[in-house]
Structure 1
Amino acid sequence: MIVAQKMGHAAVQGLNVLKEIVYGLTLGLMGGGLWKMHPWNNQRRTREFYDLLDKGIISVVVEDE
Structure 2
Amino acid sequence: MAAHKIAHATLKGPSVVKEICIGIALGLAAGGLWKMHHWNEQRKVRAFYDLLEKGEISVVAEE
Scaled by the length of structure 1, the TM-score of the pair is: 0.60
Q: Percent identity, please.
A: 59
Instruction: Within 5 Å, give how 1:1-65 maps onto structure 2.
Output: 10-12=11-13, 15-64=14-63
Scaled by the length of structure 2, the TM-score of the pair is: 0.62
Unmatched segments (≥5 aa) in structure 2: 1-9
Aligned length: 54
Higher helix share: 1
Unmatched segments (≥5 aa) in structure 1: 1-8
In the TM superposition, what whole-angstrom CA distance separates every residue of 1:26-61 from its partner, at most 9, and x where no partner exists? Answer: 111001111223322221111110000011111112
